[in-house]
Structure 1
Amino acid sequence: MLDWEKIFATRSSRMRASEIRELLKLLDRPDIISFAGGIPDPALFPNEEFQSVYSEIFSGPTVSAALQYSVSEGYLPLRRWLAGEMAKIGIAAEPENIFITSGSQQGLDYLGKLFLSPNDTALVTWPTYLGALQAFNAYEPKYDQLTPGGNRTPETYREAAAEAGGAVKFAYLSADFSNPTGETVDRAGREKLLDLASELDIAIIEDAAYQSLRYDGEAIPPILALELERNGGDIDKTRTIYCGSFSKTLAPGLRVGFMVGNAQVIRKLVLMKQAADLHSSTINQMAICLVAERGFDAQVGKIKAVYSRRRDCMLAALEKYMPEGVSWTKPEGGMFIWLTLPTGMDGAALLAKSLETAKVAFVPGKAFFADGSGANTLRMSFSCANDDMIEQGISRLGTLIRSETAG
């Protein structure tokens, strides 16, 4: 028998199953109240709108183009629509600055491939999005802790990267309602990150998957918009790559994401796309474009009304049922609340007991830390839970945590 492990590339050893993807299987168990999957509520998908536009595509003159090979950059009308949307948030971009991906996850994989050589350093927050760590891990990087708004000097990052055998290549973060914490980086923190990236001469990867889902508070300009303010509005002189997605607003199953940035970077990404899968699904891009053109703002408004109520319900339940010693974030948007348990408590062990007794699922926080810390944390998602599920689930979980701390 062939020993496959001997012929796998060394980077394959860094590939790990996603704890979140495994926990999603619990959504099919009717006895489990799940706060685990950070997925949109399917009841809010614009089903009728998609049914209408797919029918329109198949019955109209564009059907041949919809089913044919297409350009790697992405469907031009969609990129033009995105350019208009970017302008609304302070990002002046042309279609050549916009690149369509098969979900934003593919974009993260491409950026890891583009920037990281083995032992190079990626700066990420502690914790950070698990999918980003999975995407970058294949390219064998080292990680260092990014603290937006912190006081760590560029030289300490350079020295740590050199000691690890490479150089700092980029800083990755989700600045708005991040996955997993739900927290937002304030304007001062974004400005300090731009200063740090400039001194280190590195890229910034701005993961904006949740940027549209603000429920309250004042909107903060994206990092790319702030950088454009600094350089007079020339996107081809920027170092920030803005990564967006339609998965949280329109439909995740169509796998349509996008990146916005310097045309030199976009051209490199297009070459990767040509080598990987040629182009994202043409018909799905066309459908997304038509639905977005005809009702994106209304769809986002519908989602925000529902999710903001669920967030408020979960925050109220946490206040009501959680014992002393447990703290949590209070996000202004997104899909997540981050809990910190008493010191010494283990989120993974708590999950095992919770599934057996309380019948409540969540994601242990340790998986979101590049250094393996954060054992006493966990992520809760409110996007797919109604008021009754939230009330019951948080009550049961609070009782379990109280019994664990008392015992």
Structure 2
Amino acid sequence: MSNWDARYATRANRMRASEIRELLKLLDQPDIISFAGGIPDPALFPADAFRKAYERALADDQASAALQYSVSEGYAPLREWIAANLADVGIVCGIDNIVITSGSQQALDYLGKLFLSPSDTALVTSPTYLGALQAFNAYEPEYDRLLPDQGNMTPAAYRDAAANAGGQPKFAYVNPDFSNPAGETLDRAAREKLLDLADEMNIPVIEDGAYQALRYDGEPVPPILALDIERKGDIDETRTIYCGTFSKTLSPGLRLGWVCAAKPVIRKLVLMKQAADLHSPTINQMAMYHAAVDIYEKQIELLRATYGRRRDNVLGALEKYMPEGVRWTKPEGGMFIWVTLPEGIDGAALLARAIETERVAFVPGQAFHADGSGTNTIRLSFSLASEEMADTGIARLGRLLRKVMAESAS
């Protein structure tokens, strides 16, 4: 066939390459100082623990199960471990409230498929996680802006805007702890207001908890699902859908995440899992269970100490080298710092010059905005940033910014 485009479904028109995935290719260039990829440091992976975990999964009494088809809900001992871990942060649930997914990215794709019809509206923050937009885009939604820490629109205003776009408001999506990309955390009051809005509109809240375990300072805030359970008394009466992952704590390569929600939602997601890939790899689930039992708490302590120092490295370098007029967030955890440049400075154009002249990479911020705004923003990841890398890379970026700002002023 010579004209494939004419045969694709209309949703294919909304598929875009991830700027972040493309920028990861730069990591193979040894002279590039990259603040682009929000990826864990591979030097911190618990490789020995996983070697032992796979050996246990392939032991004589386990091997047949590890290598066989399994249930779509996921490996029961792993779901039991997740339920116990969630209880520690106030999410009281059973294993029937949990389904294992191939990373939380698959969970977002399933939730988009479950709730969105073409022209329906998803409520998202601005900026928001690019991977969520990519997952939802396949189902041809419209977007409206959530402002949970500033004051949202009224339910009637959201409904009217959705109706004018040809659909209904279907859910609110938030990344409330040390968000990707902004590094910001919703306080308890903002979470409560979001639940109030969702209750008034009778829509679900999708809570992306990918970074929740990575807090370096400040006081923990209960997950939105925990607050919802506190209000309703039982998880099966709640409207919050919690997406978790092992990718930021133990290993991204095993591609294991989960959804925790009311049983009716989980039953629908299990049907989708059956149709999509039957189940996540059994051997990976068994190995993850053994590793989590053995070393999870120790691993979290290591990550908090290491990434906390690296955050401080980049924040210190920003204070030292950024010109006046540049602002940035000061996250209490996670992997990201959000930088706002003076009006008129384009993040994508700055990246092109930064790579060419200073050999520094970051992610332009516009892709994280569903409405195409945010051209004067960039995202910096600090998960790989040694003190030397932070000082040298931010110094180069500050030098380039001074040049660009001087040119725009002349």
TM-score norm. by structure 2 comes to 0.98
| Residue aligning to 1:44 | 44
Q: CA deviation at 1:58?
A: 1.8
Q: CA deviation at 1:103?
A: 0.4
The within-5 A match list for 1:383-402 is: 383-402=383-402
| Residue aligning to 1:154 | 155
Q: Using the alignment, how far apart are the partners of 2:26 and 2:3 within structure 1?
A: 34
Count the aligned residue pairs.
Answer: 406
Question: Residues 223-243 of structure 1, C-alpha deviation per residue, up to 9 Å, x if partnerless?
Answer: 0000111112x1000000000
| Residue aligning to 1:82 | 82
TM-score norm. by structure 1 comes to 0.99
| Runs ≥4 residues deviating over 3 A | none
What secondary structure sits across from 2:143 in the alignment? strand
What secondary structure sits across from 1:292 in the alignment? helix
Q: Using the alignment, how far apart are the partners of 2:24 and 2:37 within structure 1?
A: 6
Amino acid at match of 1:249: T
| Residue aligning to 2:182 | 181
What secondary structure sits across from 2:99 in the alignment? strand
| Residue aligning to 2:24 | 24
Q: CA deviation at 1:59?
A: 2.7
Q: Using the alignment, how far apart are the partners of 2:58 and 2:272 within structure 1?
A: 30
| Residue aligning to 2:275 | 275
| Residue aligning to 1:295 | 295
| Residue aligning to 2:91 | 91
Question: Residues 114-171 of structure 1, C-alpha deviation per residue, up to 9 Å, x if partnerless?
Answer: 0000000000000000000000000000000011131421111000000000000000
| Residue aligning to 1:7 | 7
What secondary structure sits across from 1:404 in the alignment? helix
| Residue aligning to 1:403 | 403
The within-5 A match list for 1:6-405 is: 6-149=6-149, 150-232=151-233, 234-405=234-405
Q: Using the alignment, how far apart are the partners of 1:151 and 1:205 within structure 2?
A: 17
Question: Residues 243-285 of structure 1, C-alpha deviation per residue, up to 9 Å, x if partnerless?
Answer: 0000000000000000100000000000000000000000000
Q: Using the alignment, how far apart are the partners of 2:2 and 2:74 within structure 1?
A: 41
CA RMSD, 1 decimal:
0.6
Q: Using the alignment, how far apart are the partners of 1:72 and 1:25 within structure 2?
A: 34
Question: Residues 65-85 of structure 1, C-alpha deviation per residue, up to 9 Å, x if partnerless?
Answer: 000000000000000011101
Amino acid at match of 1:263: K
Q: Using the alignment, how far apart are the partners of 1:55 and 1:167 within structure 2?
A: 50
Q: CA deviation at 1:387?
A: 1.1
Q: Using the alignment, how far apart are the partners of 1:188 and 1:46 within structure 2?
A: 37
Amino acid at match of 1:324: E
What secondary structure sits across from 1:211 in the alignment? coil
Amino acid at match of 2:219: E
Amino acid at match of 1:58: L
Amino acid at match of 2:182: T
Q: Can you give the 5+ residue segments of structure 2 that lack an aligned partner in the other structure?
A: none
Q: Which moved more, 1:330-339 or 1:380-389?
A: 380-389
Equivalent residues of 2:104, 2:243 under 8 A apart: yes
Amino acid at match of 2:262: N
Q: Using the alignment, how far apart are the partners of 2:304 and 2:201 within structure 1?
A: 38
Q: Using the alignment, how far apart are the partners of 2:52 and 2:78 within structure 1?
A: 18
Q: CA deviation at 1:2?
A: 3.5
Equivalent residues of 2:313, 2:385 under 8 A apart: no
Equivalent residues of 2:101, 2:107 under 8 A apart: yes
Q: Using the alignment, how far apart are the partners of 2:154 and 2:393 within structure 1?
A: 43
Question: Residues 185-233 of structure 1, C-alpha deviation per residue, up to 9 Å, x if partnerless?
Answer: 000000000000000000000000000000000000000000111112x
